[in-house]
Structure 1
Amino acid sequence: MTTFPKSLSRRAFIKAGAVVATAAIGGSAAVAGEKDHPSVAFMRKVGKDLLEAHRQGTVNAFLNVIQRYADVPEIALYSLGQYKANLGAAQRPRYFRGVAVFMSRYFADQSREYPIAKYEVGEATTDGKDVTVSSRIFLMSGQTYTVNWRLVWRNKSYKVADAKVLGFSMIYMQRGIFTSYLSKRKGDLFQLMTALEG
């Protein structure tokens, strides 16, 4: 079975972070009653379930959370970049699940390396289209860092569309990983899907 290189998840995300750091970030405005905004309540629930998955540290635990709360189809399509047109309708369910598994493996790996003590959900802001909810992560080591969650409204509920860790967009970095992989394989999505499932 074809798989991504063992170091792909961590090293590629870190390397891509240097690129993301140069990207422009648009301004935002506070949402009225931001601490009581429905997006904040949504992120408290996501945070609670993510922390539980983190403590279990398994791919399946994270997969359940990602499939429940993330906008997997849009994240998956965005991640294909210029290869999006190569994805047929019949391939979508397999590819979408593969993306969710890939993300789950990454988070499970990180949960072992960077154990989290607690988190705090902050305020909600909007750019007029999507809502961003800030959070603060506290590691067992005593270190802290910020994660900003971009939410979109899908089917009468919020979904997580991106997470910016220390300002680095996770989906932007994931797109770089996928398109780089595909460029070396003539855009063969079958190879990508097989690797995602590995």
Structure 2
Amino acid sequence: MAEFPKGRVESLSRRAFIKAGAGLACAGLAGTTALAGDKNHPSVAFMRKVGRDLLEAHRQGTVSAFLSVIQRYADVPEIALYSLGQYKANLVSAQRPRYFRGVAVFMSRYFADQSRQYPIAKYEVGEAETDGKDIMVSSRIYLMSGQTYTVNWRLVWRNKTYKVADAKVLGFSMIYMQRSIFTSYLSKRRGDLLQLMNALEG
């Protein structure tokens, strides 16, 4: 992991967490239609369960704890493919299982690092909104420091259940940030996915 531009990840996460209330939280929700403010919508119940498991992983603060949650609830294959950007065509079928797991490990390591820097006291799940395809569920995170920030979760329907496809912290898309990191790394290595996979696992 040492070869990844960690400074970019850390600076963005600090900006997202520390500058809570900066007015960017709803940047990705323009044009959505409210689900009549129904906090009992199935997507909200799903996110309450995800939130409980994420908070437990946060309190453990380990990569393995986050990995279990991410593999259970996140749409890892689609997130992983999106993260490759223009290099997606370089990924052959035989490499997919290893690459998908590497992405899950990379995400888990990131969240474990954040759990040490920004201890969470509690969370609240809000309401669901839809743009006709995906569902957005809002949440509010309360840090031990007294600061708060908003996370908007984008959900998709996969195999008769919801999966988390993205999370926006103060308007910043986590998967967009991840794609920027991956494609920047690959651009310096002629699109060599083996080097990327080795780095994800390292």
Relative to the length of structure 2, the TM-score reads: 0.90
| 2: CA distance, partners of 1:12 / 1:182 | 20
| 2: CA distance, partners of 1:50 / 1:24 | 23
1:156 counterpart = 2:176: no
Paired residue for 1:96? 100
| 1: CA distance, partners of 2:126 / 2:2 | 41
Check 1:24–1:51 CA distance in 2 against 1; reply closer, same or farther (3 A cut). Answer: closer
1:112 counterpart = 2:116: yes
| 1: CA distance, partners of 2:198 / 2:14 | 23
The letter of the residue matching 1:81 is G
Contact map agreement 2:4 2:181 (CA 8 A) in 1: no
Paired residue for 1:183? 187
Q: String of CA shifts for 1:120-151, please: whole Å, max 9, x gaps.
A: 00000000000000000000000000000000
| 1: CA distance, partners of 2:60 / 2:156 | 28
- Percent of aligned positions with the same letter in both sequences? 82
Report the secondary structure of 2:39's partner residue.
helix
Contact map agreement 1:12 1:177 (CA 8 A) in 2: no
The letter of the residue matching 2:43 is S
Alignment of 1:115-130 (within 5 A): 115-130=119-134
Paired residue for 1:4? 4
| 2: CA distance, partners of 1:118 / 1:2 | 32
Q: String of CA shifts for 1:53-99, please: whole Å, max 9, x gaps.
A: 00000000000000000000000000000000000000000000000
Indicate the RMSD between aligned Cα atoms, in angstroms: 2.2
Structure 1 unpaired stretches of 5+: none
| 2: CA distance, partners of 1:14 / 1:87 | 32
The letter of the residue matching 1:148 is N
Contact map agreement 1:34 1:125 (CA 8 A) in 2: no
| 2: CA distance, partners of 1:56 / 1:83 | 35
